Amino acid sequence: MSKQPFFNMLHGSILSWMWIFVLVTACQVGYDSNIPTKATITQTVTITEEKTVVSASPSISPSVYFEYKRNCLPISPDVEIDDISTGLILNEVSSTDTKGNVVLLNISNGTRTQIFSENEKINGLRISPDRNWVAYNVIKTDDPNDSGKLILRNFATNEIKELPWDDDWDLGGIQKWINDKQILISLRSSEYPPSRIALNPFLGQKIDLPSLLPNQEIESASGEYFPLPEYNSTFDYVIYPASDNGQTGYLLKTATTLETVSFIPTQTLMTFSSPAWSNSGNAYTLSIKPFDDQSSNTFELANGSTSQQATLITSLGDHIESYYIENIVWSLDDRYIAFVVNDLTDINNQVSKLMILDMTNREVLDFCVNVNYANWRGEFADVNSPIWSPNSKELIVENQYEYGKNDVILINLSTMMASIIEKNKRVLGWVSLNR
């Protein structure tokens, strides 16, 4: 890392202490009635990017491949959801309009409740990692002066909190929850990638994030688009696309001081294959194209941590001729990692398949479950992105076999059984209803 003048070092120290104050204060949040239902932003911290050289040698540790197991699950009509103190937020599969179409399905009693009124337009609906809070942007369609609000809603306690929607925030800009208290929001921009903020809506604290732009030397299979920076749940590390001496890869840095921890090389990047952090924030998984693989479309998963270099853990190229990986999602207990493999072997019959990494038994599980999306992506999230249950023992995927028609498939990892639980519905989230 380059030497800094004394003033810059002092500035960095002050910024670090401000950051520590924000994190310590944020960790003290308790979701109780003392938190005002209407909040405002009272504190802003800005992180400034400083150019640093890569201090770690770009490398992948020796491969430790997980055992590939193909276990085709029969679709049974008798499988029920075990995690009953929960609810599914459902929408019509052919609709991106939320007016009157979005319902909460209570798993314990089967009731369906419409959760938005006819005059509400909903954007960017996202569920917190602990499944207690739903965040979204809402605009009253019958009020031309309504500039929108950020709504946080707890279906278990019926709490609703709101913040004015800032004019600088993109209407669809709620990208994800970083943790149970902070949300990533994109700012209005005609450029890619957009600037973003980390917002704690419960305390009214906002952190301006650096764009962390990769240089022009990176190789992306998706043209000018590439995965956005991903912050871990403790918000002290970030991983994003970069280049070192002409080598494409991912940089792992500290989130506040932006010091380089490691560099993970890959032949090329895929836009929909963003790195995924474990819920604990200690480990990450990402899709890379190994250098010893010269075929046109084969990607593998690598797993690393904040203290250890990434290691290749899959060898799917031994079983599939041409493919790429997307929608990597950790279970809440960090035992499993679900992901989607897009099989390009038959260009006229492309198939998307669900697979799961069992981190305990070190296995790659192929259940022969298709998760196609018929050339259509929804307004709220990727159509074929797996959704884990709050208890981490079940997950839901969708198989859209033609426009407007799909099967919602439940997979129970305890019983190793699968079932179609809904048809022609979009699953927008799986929330806790346990008080």
Quote the percentage of the chain above a pLDDT of 90.
49
Mean pLDDT throughout 35-42? Answer: 60
Quote the percentage of the chain above a pLDDT of 70.
78
pLDDT at 404: 75
pLDDT at 75: 86
Q: Which residues contact 325 (CB under 8 A, 6 or more apart)?
A: 270, 273, 287, 299, 300, 301, 316, 339, 340, 341, 342
pLDDT, tens digit, 9 for 90 and up, residues 342-369? 888 887 778 889 999 999 999 999 999 9
pLDDT at 234: 95
Beta strand pairing call for 43-46 and 205-208: parallel
Tokens linked to 123 = 């954007």
pTM of the model as a whole: 0.84
Tokens linked to 222 = 């998706």
Q: If you ran DSSP here, which 8-state letter would residue 320 be given?
A: -
C-alpha to C-alpha distance for 177 and 200, rounded to whole angstroms:
10
Q: Is the pLDDT of residue 61 over 80?
A: no
Tokens linked to 311 = 């290691």
Radius of gyration of the chain (CA): 22
In the chain the domains, ranked by start, together with CATH numbers, are: 6-432 (2.130.10.10)
Tokens 């239902």 found at:
37
Q: Is the pLDDT of residue 305 over 90?
A: yes
Helix (H, G, I), strand (E, B) or coil at 33: coil
pLDDT at 247: 82
Tokens linked to 271 = 């836009």
Q: If you ran DSSP here, which 8-state letter would residue 74 be given?
A: P
Q: Is the pLDDT of residue 35 over 80?
A: no
Total residue count of the chain as it appears in this document: 435
Mean pLDDT throughout 8-25? Answer: 38
Q: Which residues contact 192 (CB under 8 A, 6 or more apart)?
A: 224, 225
Q: Is the pLDDT of residue 381 over 60?
A: no
Contact 287, 270 (CB under 8 A): yes
Mean pLDDT throughout 75-86? Answer: 85
C-alpha to C-alpha distance for 398 and 384, rounded to whole angstroms:
6
pLDDT at 74: 87
The overall average pLDDT reported for the chain is 81
C-alpha to C-alpha distance for 309 and 56, rounded to whole angstroms:
10
Contact 226, 241 (CB under 8 A): yes
Q: If you ran DSSP here, which 8-state letter would residue 339 be given?
A: E
Beta-bridged to residue 253, according to DSSP, are 238, 260
pLDDT at 375: 47
C-alpha to C-alpha distance for 337 and 223, rounded to whole angstroms:
27
Whole-number Cα distances in Å, 264 to 112, 254, 297, 302? 46, 15, 19, 9
pLDDT, tens digit, 9 for 90 and up, residues 200-232? 999 999 999 988 866 555 655 555 667 889 999
pLDDT, tens digit, 9 for 90 and up, residues 236-294? 999 998 887 778 889 999 998 999 999 998 888 876 688 999 999 999 999 998 877 66
Q: Is the pLDDT of residue 169 over 70?
A: yes
Beta-bridged to residue 113, according to DSSP, are 104
DSSP string, 277-304: E-TTSSEEEEEE--TT--SSS--EEEEE
pLDDT at 34: 44
| Residue of 277 and 172 predicted with greater confidence | 277
Prior bond of 210 cis (ω within 30°): no
pLDDT band at residue 95 under the 50/70/90 scheme:
low
Closest CA to 300 of 251, 350, 355: 355
Highest mean pLDDT among 31-45, 149-163, 246-260, 390-404: 149-163
Highest mean pLDDT among 74-88, 343-357, 405-419: 405-419
Mean pLDDT throughout 68-97? Answer: 84
pLDDT band at residue 76 under the 50/70/90 scheme:
confident
The one-letter code for the residue type at 389 is: S
Q: Is the pLDDT of residue 28 over 70?
A: no
Beta-bridged to residue 208, according to DSSP, are 46, 197
pLDDT at 358: 97
pLDDT, tens digit, 9 for 90 and up, residues 118-130? 888 888 899 999 9
